[in-house]
Amino acid sequence: MESKQTLGFQTEVKQLLQLMIHSLYSNREIFLRELISNASDACDKLRYQALDNDALYEGDAELRVEISADREAHTLTLRDNGIGMDRDDVIANLGTIARSGTMEFLKQLTGEQKKDSRLIGQFGVGFYSAFIVADEVTVNTRKAGTPASTGVQWQSRGEGEFTVEPLERAEHGTEIILHLREDALEFAEEYRLRHLIRKYSDHIDLPVRMQTVVDSSEQEGEEKTVPVWETVNEAQALWTRPRSDVSDDEYTSFYQHIAHDGDAPLAWSHNRVEGKLEYTSLLYVPSKAPFDLYQREGVRGLKLYVQRVFIMDDAEQFLPLYLRFIKGVVDSNDLSLNVSREILQQDPQVEKMKSALTKRALDMLKKLAKNDAEKYQNFWNAFGSVLKEGPAEDFSNRQQIAELLRFSTTHTDQPLQDQSLADYVSRMKEGQQKIYYVVADGFNAARNSPQLEIFRKKGIEVLLLSDRIDDWLMAHLGEFDGKSFADVAKGDLDLGDVEDEAEKKAQEETAKAKQPLIERLKGVLGERVADVRVTHRLTDSPACVVLDEHDVGFQMRRLMEAAGQPIPESRPILEINPDHALVQGLEGAPDERFDDLAAILLDQAILAEGGHLDDPAAYVRRLNKVLTDTL
């Protein structure tokens, strides 16, 4: 048998402990939530593993958590009869392996205690929160189903080192003994503990018991004290209760338990489905994005239960990827208890549940948008760009998703995305048939895009898009309220009936008159452009570049380029503003000067659109030549 060993905490864990001990005072009670939460997870794990091996219960199938305090000794003890840990588990889990969350946690610290303490649970650094209130922590544990001699004792003062040593332990499960700091003795007070236990564990399906009053009874003249274990929490899984019985506070604290998030959720939706498929779901919209929202391997999915038995965390088969921010629980009556991830992937029932849960989640967002604009904006700011993946991933729900989208537009000219498509449609000009948008790499580039000039002049609103996903979104959105979308940088400018016949005629005539100039430009620019034409979309700029209706957009091209993907060959169309002095000056220019100005015009149009030049040095050379001539 190995003897006592002293080991160093991993660097990140050390940093974390320093922080726990020295800075997080504001919300100290959360350590209890974290430790109860761990105990509850440990019991869930044992219940699950015992499904096909009853012996793991070792004759004690009544899963529970017990909490007792000793005011004299300054200790608080939490005991569970869950799965327990062996020596390797203890070393890995409680010291040497920083969870991926720890680093992120450290990165995101703001120095503001309130905020920082809320981050603790979210990043899976729960156990160490014990050191907020304790100056020494002892963990006695034994893995269920192993001999009594394989117990382990872990001990640390949270200062950089911990010890592990073998322990003879009759019971399986884990006992955590906190030696409370002088200033944390309130956590040994019975009334305080009772209150906290109810606050943090009423909703979990596991009795949390306290050794409270000591019962003294006179027997044969001798005073005998009997410890009484009393269940303090409600101990009923929250989702199994009828909606009308559950308070908002309870929904909130259940969310905080399952999502490891100290903040309140923005909305929830709790439903029981009966009939062919029977299940209960409880879905939540968090208020802020987790750090791994955009990572491929990021944690997502619901907690899956089958007939109240916990089966797995992060069951991702029940919601589409674009709703990966939704947290919650699904409890099925139909799935088998030994269902695995592989089975979930193929089960047609799961597919049906996924489709129903998707609708529920979208409905929940719709309601939030309708009832609370401020919260909805909060949701959109956190998760809008994920929801924008929806129309491409989930064709059948794309209209519903379209209603949920928010944009910044020329109506507000602000980067905040807070205008819905319905808002846009309600402001459409008489005769306007399309919803116009511009896509650029950043908000300012979009807002100042030359292509918008005519739209601003005529008071036609344009959506200003600058998220990476936007080109992709627009390609899949199709239409909204019977109106199609038009990229102002693609194809011919078509303002529908906003322009009258006289205007159109005048434009045609100008185009005819400029034909010789157009031909001359084409001759000079040659292969660099697909076409040159006169436009009336510009009022201030001399020229702009646009793409053919069916070309891949400028933004998408840059994304594909950055991702090392082959980009389909396409050349821009140069459009010139016949009313601009520079264009007018071109007409009479001698050949050499004309060639320089033509090239500059094209290069400038590409730059204004946000593109980069193949030969920037040539552009600078030409520009300097022209500038010098004017001196």
Q: Does 126 bind ligand ATP (CB under 6 A)?
A: yes
Complex with ligand ATP: residue 96 or 355, whichever CB lies closer: 96
C-alpha distances in angstroms, 180 versus 31, 184, 189, 299, 395?
12, 6, 12, 34, 56
Residue 39, interface with ligand ATP (CB under 6 A)? yes
Nearer to ligand ATP, 254 or 480 (CB): 254
Residues 6 or more apart in contact with residue 438 via CB below 8 angstroms: 446, 449, 451, 452, 462, 463, 464, 465, 487, 488, 489
**Which residue matches tokens 């290069």?**
603
Burial annotation 13-38 (CB, 10 A radius, 16+ → b, else e): bbbbbebbbeebeebbbbbbbbbbbb
Phi, psi of 391, rounded to the nearest 5 degrees: -55, -35
Residues 398-457 that bind ligand ATP (CB under 6 A): none
What is the C-alpha separation between 46 and 141, in angstroms, rounded?
Answer: 14
Query: Out of 9, 16, 29, 38, which residue is the one contacting ligand ATP (CB under 6 A)?
Result: 38
Q: How many residues does the chain have?
A: 631
Q: Cβ-closest residue to ligand ATP? A: 126
Q: For residues 152 and 546, which CB has a smaller minimum distance to ligand ATP in the complex? A: 152
Nearer to ligand ATP, 43 or 267 (CB): 43
- Tell me: does residue 387 bind ligand ATP (CB under 6 A): no
Q: Helix (H, G, I), strand (E, B), or coil: what is residue 502?
A: helix
Rounded to whole angstroms, the Cα distance separating 42 from 33 reads 14
Q: For the chain, give percent helix, strand, coil, nearest 5.
A: 45, 20, 35
User: Rounded to the nearest whole angstrom, what is the least distance from the CB of residue 26 to ligand ATP in the complex?
Assistant: 19
Q: Of 124, 384, 496, 611, which one interacts with ligand ATP (CB under 6 A)? A: 124
| Strand partners for 283 | 269, 328
Q: Report the residue number, 65 or 306, with the smaller CB distance to ligand ATP.
A: 65
Q: Considering beta carbons, is residue 78 or 599 the nearer one to ligand ATP?
A: 78
Question: Contact region for ligand ATP (CB under 6 A) — 33-41, 177-185, 211-219, 457-465?
Answer: 33-41
For residue 247, the minimal CB distance to ligand ATP (Å) is: 24
Contact flag: residue 82 with ligand ATP (CB under 6 A): yes
Taking CB under 6 A as the binding criterion, the range among 124-132, 150-158, 190-198, 227-235 that sits at the site for ligand ATP is 124-132
- Residue 552: both structure tokens together: 């891949």
Residue among 260 and 520 whose Cβ is closer to ligand ATP: 260
Q: How far apart are CB 121 and ligand ATP at their closest, in Å?
A: 6
Minimum Å gap between C-beta 171 and ligand ATP is: 13
Token representation of residue 461? 């609103």
Q: Does 125 participate in binding ligand ATP (rule CB under 6 A)?
A: yes
Q: Which is nearer to ligand ATP, 8 or 568 (CB)?
A: 8
**Member of 21, 63, 121, 609 binding ligand ATP (CB under 6 A):** 121
CA 350, CA 318: separation in Å to the nearest integer? 7
Cα distances (Å, whole numbers) of residue 201 to 205, 250, 338, 575: 9, 10, 27, 67
Which one of 125-133, 224-232, 409-417, 530-538 is the stretch in contact with ligand ATP (CB under 6 A)? 125-133
Q: Segment near ligand ATP (CB under 6 A), from 80-88, 225-233, 332-340, 462-470?
A: 80-88
Using left for φ > 0, alpha for ψ between -120 and 50, and beta otherwise, residue 307 falls in left
State the binding site for ATP.
34, 38, 80, 85, 93, 100-101, 122-127, 174, 341
Q: Are 441 and 454 in contact (CB under 8 A)?
A: no
CB 449 within 8 A of CB 537: no
The answer to whether residues 39 and 78 touch, using CB atoms and an 8 Å cutoff, is yes
Which of the ranges 78-86, 218-226, 316-324, 388-396 carries the binding residues for ligand ATP, by CB under 6 A? 78-86
Select the residue interacting with ligand ATP from 80, 136, 470, 471 (CB under 6 A). Answer: 80
Site residues (CB under 6 A) for ligand ATP, limited to 87-106: 93-94
**Residues at the annotated binding site?**
34, 38, 80, 85, 93, 100-101, 122-127, 174, 341
Region binding ligand ATP by CB under 6 A among candidate stretches 83-91, 247-255, 273-281, 334-342: 83-91
Size of the site for ligand ATP (CB under 6 A): 19
85 binds ligand ATP per the rule CB under 6 A:
yes
How many alpha carbons lie under 13 Å from residue 585 in its C-beta half-sphere? 11
Counting contacts by CB under 6 A, is residue 611 touching ligand ATP?
Answer: no
Strand, coil or helix: 115: helix
Q: Does 174 bind ligand ATP (CB under 6 A)?
A: yes
- Which structure tokens are listed for 177? 């003994």
Binding of ligand ATP by 158 (CB under 6 A): no
Q: Which one of 31-39, 296-304, 379-387, 442-450 is the stretch in contact with ligand ATP (CB under 6 A)?
A: 31-39
If binding is defined by CB under 6 A, does position 262 make contact with ligand ATP? Answer: no
Q: How far is the CB of 339 from ligand ATP (least distance, A)?
A: 22
Q: Which two tokens stand for residue 285?
A: 């919209």
Residue 534 in tokens: 């006169």
- Footprint on residues 42-71 left by ligand ATP (CB under 6 A): 42
Residue 26 CB-half CA count within 13 A: 13
**Is the Cβ of residue 44 or residue 609 nearer to ligand ATP in the bound state?**
44
Give the HSE-up count for residue 491: Cα atoms under 13 Å, Cβ half-sphere.
Answer: 13
**Quick one: DSSP state of residue 580?**
S
Task: Give the contacts of 182 (CB within 8 A, at least 6 positions apart).
Answer: none
Long-range contacts, 404-407 (Cβ 8 Å, 24+): 404/362, 404/365, 404/366, 404/369, 405/473, 406/377, 406/380, 407/437, 407/463, 407/464, 407/465
Chain residues that interact with ligand ATP, rule: CB under 6 A: 34, 37-39, 42, 80, 82-85, 93-94, 121, 124-127, 174, 260
